[in-house]
Amino acid sequence: MPEDRNPPITFETSCTVAAPPEAVYQHLTDPRSYIGLSPLVVAVDGVRTGHDAEGLLVTDYVAVERFRLVGPLRWDNRIRVRLVATQPGVQLVSDVRSPGWVSLRAVVDLTAVADGTRVRERVTADAPVPLRRFVASQARRVAADRAAELTRRMAAR
C-alpha cells in the first residue's frame, strides 16, 4: 500500500535590489553572507567548496539557526546545506537538511532589470505532520526577512 504523503510546502518571494546580478550572485554564493541575511542563522562552519560531476560549483556547509524559546532559553539547530551554482551568475539552488526530517529546497533566480536585479526565490519544504505548520510559518518569515535584508545590503554597497 503506498504511503500517504502531504503535499510539499511551497511559496515564492521576490524583490528588486539596487545592485547588478554579478554582485548579488557573489554575495549569495558565500555561506558567511547568510549570517544575519537569514535572520535565524548566527554561524556557519565546515565550509567545503568543490565541483560536482557536471563541473558546477558546489558548497557544503553547516549553518546554525538560533531559535529563541522562553526567556533566555534558546535552541541552536545545526542544518546541513548544499549550495549549487546551477547556472553561474543566474541561478543558485540550496538544499537544506535539518534534524527532525525537515528538508527545504530554495531556488534563487537573478534577472537584470533597469534598477538592479530581480531576485526570485521559490521554496519547497517537507516536514512531518507535527512540524508542518511551524516549518511553513518559519520558512515564509525567514524568506521575507531575507529579501528585505538583501535589499538593504545591496543598497548600502
pTM higher than the cut 0.75: yes
Q: Once rounded to an integer, what is the mean pLDDT over residues 49-70?
A: 94
Which pLDDT score is estimated for 4? 54
Q: Look over the chain and give the mean of its residue pLDDT values, rounded to a whole number.
A: 94
Map out the domains of the chain as residue ranges. 9-156
**What is the architecture of the domain spanning 9-156?**
2-Layer Sandwich (3.30)
SS (H, E, C) the chain: CCCCCCCCEEEEEEEEECCCHHHHHHHHCCHHHHHHHECCEEEEEEEEEEECCCCCEEEEEEEEEEEECCCCCEEEEEEEEEEEEEECCCEEEEEEEECCCEEEEEEEEEEEECCEEEEEEEEEEECCHHHHHHHHHHHHHHHHHHHHHHHHHHHHC
